[in-house]
Structure 1
Amino acid sequence: MLSNSYSRSAAFQTVVFYNVENLFLPDSSEKRTKSHSHSGLNRWNRARYENKLYKLANVFHLIEQKHEALPVLIGFSEVQGKLPVQDLLAHSVFKGEYDVVHFESLDERGMDVALAFHTKTIEVIESQPLVYFFGDNFEGNGRADTTRDVLWVKIKWHFETVHVFVVHLPSKRENDINKAKRAHILNELKERIHQLSGSDERVLVMGDFNENPLDDLMTDFLQMGDESILFNPFGDVFRAQNYSVFHYRQGLLFDQILLSQHFLQQDKGSLHLLQAEVFRHQEIENWDKRFKGRPFRTYAGTRYLGGYSDHYPVLVKLGIKDIP
């Protein structure tokens, strides 16, 4: 039986998603050469790895300071395997109270998603990677391709059963050659979620979608016919011009957390949505006035900067109530 002492300390809990920008192991040069951000570099070493872990741990310390507690669920993307997440969770801020769910994907850069969880609050019931392989004839592109898995984790959380999906959809590179792949993954995922929507089991989808909240693929993802199966609180965040990542001069909100309609019903169940935000703090912003308001990243192209990530984390705050 899980302890509820953590949840009783506050009237809310938080969920965070964080694209941590190529969290490679220090001895991963073969995989690293396939990464645009590290191309041609052989200077990623133990010291830089430990510095990045220290900085990422500090981000969660800052989240804890602002929101009075650490998140109970943390989705990650751009991690190279399970070990970097375990190394991060070994930092003192996490108090030895977190574990991680991860599966190796077929991504050519070795980049995976993972889900960390507070072991005294969350019970993992079942987990599975949803694998996507695009054959030679997909959209007539003439070559086979693999991408990051979607991670599915079924959990018990404060009297509720919740299906958590962690995604990192194919990028917008090369004139958005991957848009059809993103659409394919989202359509398959929507079918899975629709099958769950008639039950009392909740759904939470978090990740780097490589789409803004108001883009067609994302708005279509929320609906199955006339039925609204998901709610995206980051639509309003995007309208308010709050961004999690930048491309040249353009602000983007690719990082989002979506919830099933159950989370909007305060009179039903023990968890309900309170707010959504991009977590920005002056300590994790770029110190260069030319890039004011942007994340302080680890790399700029092939140039090592020593920062945190090229993305800000995003979070949702959920109200909680006890159910007899």
Structure 2
Amino acid sequence: MKQLSLKCKFLLYGMVYCCMHLSTFAQDAGRYKIISYNVENLFDTVASNKYRDKDFTPTGKFEWNTQRYKAKLNNLSKVVDAVCDSTPLLFLGVCEVENKKVVKHWLKNPLMAKHHLGSIHFNSMDPRGISVALLYNKKLFTPKVKEAIHPRFDLDTSYKARNILYVKGNFGKEEIHVFLNHWSTRKGGAEKSDSRRVETAKLLRKKIDEIQAANINAKIIVMGDFNDPPFAKSISEVLNAKQSELTLKENSLFNLMSESALRGKYTFDFAGEQDMLDQIIVSENFVNNNCRLCIDKKRGYVFQPKWLMYKSSKFGPMPFRTYEGFKYVGGFSDHLPVYCDLIVK
């Protein structure tokens, strides 16, 4: 009887061990969503002593009140949930959030809460206080390193750029590096501000080179609002994000949005001038023939349903934003989100 009991114990331990490993495998295998979204001026309603955000208060130019704030959080939540479309969300990179409090408020929305999201955010040096935040699935990804990288410009030392957010962590047994960007504005003209984006691209490329020097097989995701299209010098030459998989080498970066840009897709429309400013860029090992973590169809997409657009009498279909000038129209954002599907084999 004792011998039988001992055998039963070993059998039970074996079953538990197998179940644990099967559970881990089942959790990791499948399809996951990666999204990048500039949510356009997601401010709370309280004036800050550190930033120029008084326009986004109840008495400010935009008459930004609690009702409008909550409506915007609801609208953005609908967008994220619609992009996911029942697929588990792994990463959501967001641009133009004011602070951690705003992110926490957003994550309490029922449509966001069901995605089990944690957040990583650092305040930026931007004069208006807008910054980036990485939202990640707490059940799938474990952050190990997080850092705010500060771009500096030799030709304009007084310019306060937004941080690049760097996060390293584990997705199952795989280590992933994520860089979230919101590069310098085009305000005043793309050419005048081009040097800042080129310098930011150099800094980002240096960080990526350091990672790849330590591990040539490092898995890297670069996303955000670059304020430059895929074919701009800053992205195609300095960052060296390739547009064709035929030109990829072992340590190359591949721009998942290039094909969509070539087809005339866009994420931002300024007075009828359309551009693919929001992009997802990945290391070559996400799209090669031997990948275990693979980008489905080796491309990214712009999410552009009819309800996310409105028809301008002057410029035709445009992203349905929150304001037209100072007039509240109750839309979503002046940018469209981009996304890709990550397949785990």
Aligned to 2:102: 84
Give the Cα separation in 1 of the matches to 2:61 and 2:146: 35
Aligned to 2:73: 53
Closer/same/farther in 2, CA of residues 234 and 31 from structure 1, 3 Å limit: same
Give the Cα separation in 2 of the matches to 1:32 and 1:166: 23
Question: Where does structure 1 lack aligned partners over 5 or more consecutive residues?
Answer: none
Does structure 2 retain, via aligned residues, the 8 Å contact 1:243–1:253? Answer: yes
Residue 195 of structure 1: SS of its match in structure 2?
helix
Which of these two proteins has the greater Rg computed from alpha carbons?
Answer: 2
Residue 28 of structure 1: SS of its match in structure 2?
coil
Closer/same/farther in 2, CA of residues 60 and 175 from structure 1, 3 Å limit: closer
What is the CA distance between 1:131 and its match in structure 2? 1.4
Matched, 1:214 2:231: yes
Q: What residue identity is the alignment partner of 2:175?
A: T
Matched, 1:305 2:325: no
Residue 25 of structure 1: SS of its match in structure 2?
coil
Give the Cα separation in 1 of the matches to 2:301 and 2:107: 23
CA offset digits 1:157-180 (Å, max 9, x no partner): 132111100000001111333211
Matched, 1:315 2:311: no
Question: Where does structure 2 lack aligned partners over 5 or more consecutive residues?
Answer: 1-19, 243-247
Give the Cα separation in 2 of the matches to 1:89 and 1:40: 26
Q: CA RMSD in A?
A: 2.5
What is the CA distance between 1:130 and its match in structure 2? 0.3
What is the CA distance between 1:55 and its match in structure 2? 0.3
Closer/same/farther in 2, CA of residues 306 and 191 from structure 1, 3 Å limit: same
Aligned to 1:110: 129
Does structure 2 retain, via aligned residues, the 8 Å contact 1:202–1:262? Answer: yes
Q: What residue identity is the alignment partner of 1:16?
A: I
Does structure 2 retain, via aligned residues, the 8 Å contact 1:63–1:70? Answer: no
Residue 335 of structure 2: SS of its match in structure 1?
coil
Residue 173 of structure 1: SS of its match in structure 2?
coil
Give the Cα separation in 2 of the matches to 1:32 and 1:303: 17
Query: Of the two structures, which has the highest relative contact order with CA contacts closer than 8 Å and spacing of 6 or more?
Result: 1
Percent identity, please: 27
Aligned to 1:75: 93
Give the Cα separation in 1 of the matches to 2:89 and 2:313: 31
Matched, 1:167 2:181: yes
CA offset digits 1:13-53 (Å, max 9, x no partner): 11000000000011137632478xx9961510111000000
Give the Cα separation in 2 of the matches to 1:133 and 1:301: 31
Matched, 1:195 2:218: no
Residue 297 of structure 1: SS of its match in structure 2?
coil
Closer/same/farther in 2, CA of residues 287 and 207 from structure 1, 3 Å limit: same
Matched pairs, number = 309
Matched, 1:148 2:165: no
Does structure 1 retain, via aligned residues, the 8 Å contact 2:55–2:61? Answer: no
